[in-house]
């Protein structure tokens, strides 16, 4: 049954969102497909899969905040985050195998995502506070800014979709494929890359450089996207 579910998913995949980054499209979705086939074979519902995703992600978040920074801690955190993200992809795929999702399931998925996105960077702030000496306390600004950037970007995307849907306009995440080049260009904004950067948690200077660069990439993306989104809202207003 698992093999059959895996085969069915090959024909039940949605086109990826325009501008979706490469890891999410070419790695995470495929990992999610394997997990979805197993979950469907085990009789799990999409909501149960969402909760499994949350369990992995928040276990990692707790470790970041309370466990001593080290090589093994970083590897375990990265693995849990990667699995949490893959299970996040799997819940929608399980829903398609079962004939479609539900409004309740979509709400649960977005609720978990919103909580995860903000709490991850707050956990980094707490973890750094416990690890870095007082003279390096300035590094705490990095996760604080990252939390603001990530949560604002996620909220803005949901708001865009809601307003565009209200006006019967294609949403920000319209499923229409996208080019490989575009996916590669936005890789620095990929949540999957944020998950992987924690393999450096045991080498704090390297982690701070890599994590800081991802924060800057997210800030740059949000700044450019906000201008585009604001103009799109203006067009919606003009067409009312």
Measured CA distances, 94 to 105, 129, 186 (Å): 11, 39, 27
Read off the pLDDT of residues 136-148 as tens digits, 9 standing for 90 and up.
999 999 999 999 9
Return the pLDDT at 151: 95
Longest dimension (CA), the chain: 58
Taking the C-alpha atoms of 125, 131, 132 and 138 in order, what is their torsion angle to the nearest 10 degrees? Answer: 10
Of 38-42, 84-88, 159-163, give the range with the top mean pLDDT. Answer: 84-88
Packed helices 2-10 and 71-97: angle between N→C axes, nearest 10 degrees: 80
Return the pLDDT at 238: 72
CB atoms within 10 A of CB 135: 6
d(CA 210, CA 109) in angstroms, rounded, equals: 28
> How would you classify residue 100: left for phi > 0, otherwise alpha for psi between -120 and 50, otherwise beta?
left
Band (pLDDT 50/70/90 cuts) for residue 95 is confident
Read off the pLDDT of residues 124-133 as tens digits, 9 standing for 90 and up.
999 999 989 9
Return the pLDDT at 20: 74
- Mean predicted confidence (pLDDT) in 94-107: 84
Return the pLDDT at 41: 85
d(CA 172, CA 82) in angstroms, rounded, equals: 25
Band (pLDDT 50/70/90 cuts) for residue 209 is very high
Which domains are delineated in the chain? 2-238 (1.20.120.1760)
Looking at the chain, the whole-number percentage of residues with pLDDT higher than 90 is 56
Looking at the chain, the whole-number percentage of residues with pLDDT higher than 70 is 83
3 state DSSP class of 67: coil
Return the pLDDT at 186: 67
Band (pLDDT 50/70/90 cuts) for residue 179 is low
d(CA 88, CA 152) in angstroms, rounded, equals: 20
pLDDT of 15 strictly over 60: no
pLDDT of 176 strictly over 90: no
Return the pLDDT at 7: 57
Return the pLDDT at 69: 92
| Beta carbons within 8 Å of 185's beta carbon, 6+ residues apart | none
pLDDT of 226 strictly over 60: yes
d(CA 97, CA 191) in angstroms, rounded, equals: 25
Minimum mean pLDDT range among 4-13, 19-28, 91-100, 199-208? 4-13
pTM of structure? 0.87
Assigned token pair, 148: 């603001």
pLDDT of 150 strictly over 70: yes
Band (pLDDT 50/70/90 cuts) for residue 235 is confident
What is the chain's length?
240
Assigned token pair, 118: 């903000």
Does residue 85 or residue 181 have the better pLDDT? 85
């Amino acid at each position: 049954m698992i093999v059959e579910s895996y085969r069915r998913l090959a024909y039940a995949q949605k086109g990826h969102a325009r501008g979706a980054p490469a890891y999410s499209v070419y790695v995470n979705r495929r990992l999610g497909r394997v997990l979805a086939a197993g979950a469907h074979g085990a009789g799990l519902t999409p909501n149960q899969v969402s909760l499994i995703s949350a369990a992995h992600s928040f276990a990692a978040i707790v470790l970041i905040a309370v466990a001593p920074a080290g090589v093994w801690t970083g590897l375990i955190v990265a693995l849990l985050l990667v699995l949490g993200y893959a299970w996040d992809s799997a819940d929608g795929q399980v829903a398609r195998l079962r004939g479609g999702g539900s409004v309740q399931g979509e709400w649960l998925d977005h609720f978990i995502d919103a909580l995860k996105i903000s709490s991850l960077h707050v956990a980094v702030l707490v973890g750094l506070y416990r690890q870095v000496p007082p003279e390096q306390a300035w590094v705490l600004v990095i996760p604080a800014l990252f939390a603001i950037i990530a949560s604002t970007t996620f909220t803005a995307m949901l708001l865009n979709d809601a307003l565009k849907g209200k006006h019967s306009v294609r949403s920000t995440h319209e499923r229409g494929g996208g080019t490989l080049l575009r996916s590669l260009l936005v890789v620095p904004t990929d949540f999957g890359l944020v998950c992987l950067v924690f393999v450096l948690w045991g080498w704090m200077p390297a982690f701070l450089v890599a994590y800081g660069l991802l924060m800057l990439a997210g800030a740059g993306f949000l700044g450019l996207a906000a201008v585009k989104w604001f103009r799109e809202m203006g067009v919606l207003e003009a067409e009312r």
